[in-house]
Amino acid sequence: MRLIYLSIALIIAALNCCSQAGNLLTPEEIREGWVLLFDGKSTDGWTASDGRPVPEGTWSFSDGCLSTVIGDKSGDIITVSEFSDFELYAEFKIAPGANSGIKYFFTTYENGGRLGCEFQIIDDDSFKNVIGAKQLCGALYDLFPPVESAKKVNPPGEWNSVRIVARGSDIEHWMNNVRILKCNRAEKAFAEAVSESKFSKTVPPFGSVEKGHILLQYHGGLVSFRNIKIRELQ
């Protein structure tokens, strides 16, 4: 019996070590130009979405994860830096019923306010009867749905990986190492999608900006992020 308890303790310790081992770059990643956007213990390099310091207690840190804190004072956070052509990688875990997102090219529009393209993060099962395909997990929110036949999403409580690639006018969304969406901001299909969306009145046209911040969204639910990193593409 003592041996069984010892084995369980070792397994738990190993899991804890794994949960804390992220937020690091390998020598190869450093050579490839990757930089961490989250150091595993603070919001250094991030501000509130209006550019002010992140209010204390609105996001929490545990085991190398950055998590929302549910409450009226919580809100979105954005990177201090702006990015144009880039590859972004992150991992997320949501609670049942949660809704969040990763926005990019986030900036202030002349008409429309502060906006950005969004990789939708949501518990599909909890919302499938009230949202459309363009609001499902992995969608380019309100513009293009993910390819459902290719999408594999781990359930709430488990980690999923996200990769967003923006090069020139091309955009790709990847989830768990599978590409689930591709579009081109210069093509007619993109303009038509914008015209049919909630962003139809923005000036300049939504999604046409050349650069912007990365945003982690607080939408009232519990979501955690880790291993957030980016590299600029030539």
pLDDT exceeds 80 at position 14: no
Per the model's pLDDT, the better-predicted residue between 168 and 7 turns out to be 168
pLDDT exceeds 80 at position 1: no
pLDDT of residue 234: 83
Neighbour count for residue 77 (Cβ, 10 Å): 23
- Residue 21's pLDDT band, with cuts at 50, 70 and 90, is low
| Structural domains of the chain ordered from first start | 25-232 (2.60.120.560)
pTM equals: 0.90
pLDDT exceeds 90 at position 6: no
Question: pLDDT tens for residues 61-79?
Answer: 999 999 999 988 889 999 9
pLDDT exceeds 80 at position 179: yes
